[in-house]
Amino acid sequence: MTEQERIQKQRTERTAPAHDDVSVDVTKGDQLKADLDDLLDEIDEVLEENAEEFVRNYIQKGGE
């Protein structure tokens, strides 16, 4: 699967059915990923390659 397909798939899996009546229940989302290892593998794939530079360059002006 390409990266795009994989994300699409995850999105589909994680999208719950629509409720016109918002009050029914909190839509059952996905089960928490039981396997943290899979999740960490995924993080490895998408984490910015140069973490140090990425973090250093993330500078914001204050807001509000």
Partner 1 sequence: MAIPKVLGIETEYGIAGGPELDPIVASSIVVNAYAQQGRTRVNWDFEGETPDLDARGLPSLTSFAPVVETHLANTVLTNGARLYVDHAHPEYSSPECRTPFEATLYDAAGEEVMRRALLVANESMAAHQSINLYKNNSDGKGNSYGCHENYLITRDMEFGHVVRAMVPHFVSRQIIVGAGKVGAETKYGLESSPAFQLSQRAEFFEEVVGLETTLKRPIINTRDEPHCDAERFRRLHVIIGDANMSQVATMVKLGATSLLLSVLEDRGADVFPSLPRHPVQAVRAFALDTTLTQTVACEDGRQRSAWDFQDELWHLANDYANLYGAQAVADEDEVQVILSQWREMLDGVRDNADAVADRVDWVAKLRILRGYQGRYDLGEGDAKLRAIDLQYHDLRSERSLAQRVGLRSLFDSDKVREAVHNPPTSTRAYFRGQCVARYPDQIVAANWDSVVFDLGQGPLQRVPMMDPMRGTAALTKDLLETCPTADDLLERLDR
Q: Which positions lie near partner 1, rule CB under 8 A?
A: 3-4, 7, 10-11, 14-18, 21-33, 36-37, 39-40, 42-43, 46-48, 51-52, 54-64
Q: Minimum Å distance from CB 37 to partner 1? A: 8
Supply the minimum distance, in Å, between the C-beta of residue 1 and partner 1.
14
Residue 62 exposed, middle or buried by CB count within 10 Å (0-12, 13-18, 19+): exposed
Terminal alpha carbon distance of the chain: 42
With tokens 């009050």, the residue in question is 23
Nearest-approach distance from CB 51 to partner 1, in angstroms: 4
